[in-house]
Amino acid sequence: MPFLPITREETEALGWDRPDFVLVTGDAYVDHPTFGPAIISRLLESRGYRVAMLAQPDWKTDRDFTRFGRPRLGFMVSAGNIDSMVAHYTAARRRRSDDAYSPGSRPGLRPDRAVTVYTRRLKELYPDCPVIIGGLEASLRRFAHYDYWDDAIRPSVLVESGADLLTYGMGERQSAEIADRLAAGEPVSALRDIRGTCYLIPTHEYEPGPAVDCPSYEQVRASKREYAVSCRKQQDEQDAVRGKRVLQKHGRLLLVQNPPALPLDGPELDAVYELPYMRTWHPCYASQGGVPAIQEVEFSITHNRGCFGGCNFCAIAFHQGRMVTTRSEESVLREAELLTRLPSFKGYIHDVGGPTANFRGPSCEKQRTMGLCAGKKCLAPTPCPALQVDHSGYLALLRRVRALPGVKRVFIRSGIRFDYLMEDPDKTFLHELIEHHVSGQLKVAPEHCSAAVLDAMGKPHIESYLAFQREFFRYTKKIGREQYLVPYLMSSHPGSTLQDAVELALFLKREHLRPEQVQDFYPTPGTISTCMFYTGLDPYTLRPVYVPRTDREKAMQRALLQYFNPEKRALVAEALREAGRTDLIGCGEDCLIPPPPGARPPRRGPDGGKNRSRAPERQRAGAPRAGEKKKPASKLGGRWEKDAARSRRDRKQEGRG
């Protein structure tokens, strides 16, 4: 099956007078099932619609937007796989120098706030043509939201863009129903009852019914407390089983969010992922070096959707939802067999995963009929008593995939929830994971070590990670492998004080960890953590939450995580002085940095020891006591690397040079 048409000449060669839909995307055109625009376009094609692709149009002129003329049924607009502002800016609000979703990583091929810019241009050119917006950017900005780059509250993207309808979530059900009803002759203004969509109406036209009323755009702009209340209500109704309609006034307009679309079940997911994708970028990008974003997913398989982990800084819960649904084993096997037939396949499947790789079912039975609990988490701060832990289905799937002819290894690179894994009394999956599915390194995300910060993140406490770490290295040693964990940590998350950052630095030293890169918290739209960042309040308790806001404090927290780097020493010293921890500057075993040249020797403590740390015992739990031998260094030491910097041995093992 060829690519969908991208030029007027191609549509004419197909005998089309015009497309039914033109799908506009801020990404380059990559026809692969990990790219949202590819899924929606192939789904519509499978239902008999003529779909043309308009990828990264030049928004400064009309030329690209008039390429196909007015489509018969409408335009569908997406910023692409990620929010356009995240694509363009770092957490420090600095402009990025590349864009992996553009040909040759070339930056600047999409505008800031792409959904709004594209839609406004289309409405200027075709005011009577339906424009439906969707994808991650539209989904996470569907209500009045805090915008980190403006440092202000912006209205719903539906208001800003002037689109006729917004689809939120994964979008397949909504897009299919919208297409069918438009094709049947219904005006877009009549499409007000489709689950997983938002629309705008004059406030006087709303017909009362069961709904949750959020504080208005004007109220959340004026009051941070009202914004926090609004955020909590929106998050609580993001459930396909029990979610209600949500309302939010914007001046004289009323934003109406219908309940979330029902997740695709197993056969429906199978059908979506087995559509005839070309599984690569369009040939028009060959002279520009292709589209780099395909590299990490070209030989990866998605087996599930949704995540009941519900971390506060993650947008998955507000986009995909927390209900986990999975593809059948047979469908995944068919895709794996397809990969083995691709010319560039070298025997290595890079991932069989999803938002969380080792979830293959609901966390408890009541989710099927009652939905997920509002305001509660399945795994944090401790696992729910109703949690059902079962890796048998995922284990059986992985065994069948790795047994396929032509498959040398099957790796898991999407996230593993180690806390869920450690709740499983049967360690078979853990041992097979270590033995068969680790490509030299396994990504895990403890994120922090401070209990207060982890509570603000909605993550389990560090003891769960340490238990997993012990078992990982115990079994790795048993089977004679040299394998490493790549734990991700985050600095400056809401709730993290300088004292918490010092605690994390001490943890890193105790565990012999030296992170080469550190990720600052990035306040993206639609997350609970972003609400905390803006308001300084926990939306579920309305209690104050400490927020590191200044560039100086963020730099100090980041530097503490790399205390061992001589270039960071001045910042670390400044942070320790501000945190009241100058006892950690010196030559003692517990110290983070040495004293500056020419400094006076540290005074003896009351016990006669030199420069003994006054850190609480919980921070020094791993340090050797007097008379004890020093514990051997963890195998984690010095191997905290970015995925792209895997060792030459690992890359050779995967057949990639």
470-501 pLDDT, tens digit per residue, is: 999 999 999 999 999 888 999 999 999 999 99
Residue 86 has pLDDT above 80, yes or no: yes
Residue 605 has pLDDT above 90, yes or no: no
Instruction: Please identify which residue in the block is written with the tokens 């939802």.
Output: 321
pLDDT cut 90: percent of the chain above it = 85
Record the tokens describing residue 530, joined without a space: 């972003």
- The predicted model gives 13-22 an average pLDDT of 97
Handedness of CA 495, 499, 503, 506 (dihedral sign): positive
d(CA 322, CA 243) in angstroms, rounded, equals 12
Q: What is the pLDDT of residues 437-459, one digit of tens each?
A: 998 888 899 999 999 999 999 99
pLDDT band at 602, cuts 50/70/90? low
Whole-number pLDDT of residue 208: 87
d(CA 49, CA 51) in angstroms, rounded, equals 6
Q: Do 297 and 214 contact (CB within 8 A), yes or no?
A: no
Whole-number pLDDT of residue 198: 98
Whole-number pLDDT of residue 601: 54
Nearest to 133 by CA among 90, 178, 98: 178
Residue 51 has pLDDT above 80, yes or no: yes
Contacts of 481 (CB under 8 A, 6+ apart): 434, 435, 438
d(CA 465, CA 160) in angstroms, rounded, equals 43
- DSSP alpha helix (H) spans, 149-245: 157-161, 172-183, 217-222, 224-236
Angle at the Cα of 505 (from 451 to 552), degrees rounded to 5?
95
Residue 392: CB atoms within 10 A of its CB come to 13
- The predicted model gives 92-97 an average pLDDT of 95
Residue 395: CB atoms within 10 A of its CB come to 18
Instruction: Please identify which residue in the block is written with the tokens 């995540």.
Output: 307
Q: Do 303 and 397 contact (CB within 8 A), yes or no?
A: yes
Secondary structure (DSSP) of 578-644 = HTT-GGGBSSSTT-SBPPPTTPPPPPB-TTS-BS-----GGGSTTSPPTTPPPPPPPTTTT----GG
- DSSP alpha helix (H) spans, 172-307: 172-183, 217-222, 224-236, 266-273
Whole-number pLDDT of residue 451: 96
φ/ψ region of 181 (left if φ > 0, alpha if ψ in -120 to 50, else beta) reads: alpha
Phi, psi (deg, nearest 5) at residue 293: -60, -20
Residue 617 has pLDDT above 70, yes or no: no
Which residues in the chain are classed under CATH 3.40.50.280? 8-198
d(CA 11, CA 52) in angstroms, rounded, equals 8
d(CA 442, CA 434) in angstroms, rounded, equals 9
d(CA 651, CA 15) in angstroms, rounded, equals 46
Handedness of CA 531, 535, 537, 542 (dihedral sign): negative
CA 348 to chain centre: 24
- The predicted model gives 8-31 an average pLDDT of 97
The pTM assigned to this predicted structure is: 0.89
Phi, psi (deg, nearest 5) at residue 115: -60, -45
- DSSP alpha helix (H) spans, 447-579: 451-457, 462-478, 498-510, 528-535, 551-560, 569-578
Instruction: Please identify which residue in the block is written with the tokens 């910042």.
Output: 571
| C-alpha distances in Å from residue 617, one per residue of 249, 612, 613, 614, 622 | 52, 12, 10, 9, 9
Record the tokens describing residue 579, joined without a space: 């945190």
Instruction: Please identify which residue in the block is written with the tokens 């069989």.
Output: 352
Q: Do 329 and 311 contact (CB within 8 A), yes or no?
A: no
- The predicted model gives 207-217 an average pLDDT of 94
Give the SS3 label for residue 181: helix
Instruction: Please identify which residue in the block is written with the tokens 């396994």.
Output: 442
Q: Which of 278-287, 527-536, 561-570, 607-616 has the lowest mean pLDDT?
A: 607-616
Nearest to 47 by CA among 167, 235, 173, 202: 173
Kindly tell me the burial class for residue 95, based on how many C-beta atoms sit within 10 Å of its own C-beta (0-12, 13-18, 19 or more): exposed
Q: Which fold has domain 8-198?
A: Rossmann fold (3.40.50)
Residue 328 has pLDDT above 90, yes or no: yes
- DSSP alpha helix (H) spans, 237-388: 266-273, 316-319, 329-340, 367-370
